Amino acid sequence: IADGHHRYETACNYRDHLNGISPLPPDHPANFALMMCVAMEDPGLAVMPTHRLFTGVPELTADELAAKLAGCFDAKVVGQGPDHATTAWEEIEIENNQGTIALCTGKDNRWVMARLSAAGRAKMAEVASEHNEAWQALGVSILHRLIVETILGVKDMPKPNYVHLVDEVVEGLKEGGYPLAALVMPATVDDIRQISMTGERMPAKSTYFYPKLLSGLVINPLE
C-alpha cells in the first residue's frame, strides 16, 4: 500500500471491532475496503519530497553541525538565511542524489550542504544493518538514522513538522522555533519497488504520491 495504509489499518480495526460485538456475515460492508490500483509504470505517477522541520534536536551553529558531519559527509556551509532554501533545493535537484541533504541550523540561520561519503555509506550499513541496501540508500533513511539518531545522538524526539514545499520550509524558518530544517530528495518509484519487493517497509513520510485521489469521489457506505 503506497498511500493510505493508516486508513486501511483503521478499516481492519473497525471490522474486527464489529466482529467482536457480533459475528459479521461474509457480505457485510465492513469486510471490504475501497482501493485504487495504479501501475508503477504509469507516467503520471510521481513521488514528491517531504522536507523536515525539527524540534527536540541540539541547537548548533552551521560550523558546529558541519564539524559533526565531517566523518560521514563532505559537509560545507553554503548560504545564509531562510530564503537560501530555494538555491539549496535547486542544487539538490540538479545533483539528483539521495545522499545529498541540505540542513539549516536555526541558531544562526545558515545552511550546510552535506554529501554522503564512502565512510558515511559504511557507517549507514553498520547502524541500519537490519535493513537492505536500497533502504539504507534513501535520503530520508540517511537523514533520520545516520544524521539525527547516530551523529546528533537523538533517539526519541517529537515528530518533525513535515512539509512538501520549499516555501513552507522558508516560512517555518522565518517563524522560528526549529533548531534544524532539512531538505531531502524524495524516493523514486523504483526505490519503492526495490524495497517493497523484499518485504521491507518504507521509512515514515517517504511516499508522498501525487496526484491524490479526490476524497468522496467514491464512497463505501457501512450502514
Are 129 and 136 within 8 A, CB to CB? no
Residue spans per domain, the chain: 5-35, 46-208
For residue 135, what pLDDT is reported? 95
Question: Looking at residue 218, what is its pLDDT?
Answer: 81
pLDDT confidence of residue 205: 87
pLDDT, one tens digit per residue, over 38-58 is 888 999 988 999 999 999 999
Q: Give the model's pLDDT for residue 81.
A: 96
Per-residue pLDDT of the chain (223 residues; tens, 9 = 90+): 767 778 889 999 999 999 999 999 999 999 998 888 888 899 998 899 999 999 999 999 999 999 999 999 999 999 999 999 999 999 999 999 999 999 999 999 999 999 999 999 999 999 999 999 999 999 999 999 999 999 999 988 899 999 999 999 999 999 999 999 999 999 999 999 999 898 888 988 888 888 888 777 788 787 7
Helix 84-95 and helix 166-175: axis angle, to 10°?
Answer: 150
Handedness of CA 155, 97, 138, 6 (dihedral sign): positive
| 208: its cell numbers | 508522498
Question: Which pTM value belongs to this model?
Answer: 0.87
At 162 the pLDDT is 96
Element (H, E) at 85: helix 84-95
Q: In what order do the strands lie in the sheet with 100-105?
A: 73-80, 110-116, 100-105, 180-183, 51-54, 161-163
Alpha-carbon span 81 to 111, nearest angstrom: 8
pLDDT value at residue 32: 92
Sign of CA dihedral 183, 184, 188, 192: negative
Q: Is 34 helix (H, G, I), strand (E, B) or coil?
A: coil
Q: Locate cell 524495497: which residue?
A: 195
pLDDT of 34: 86
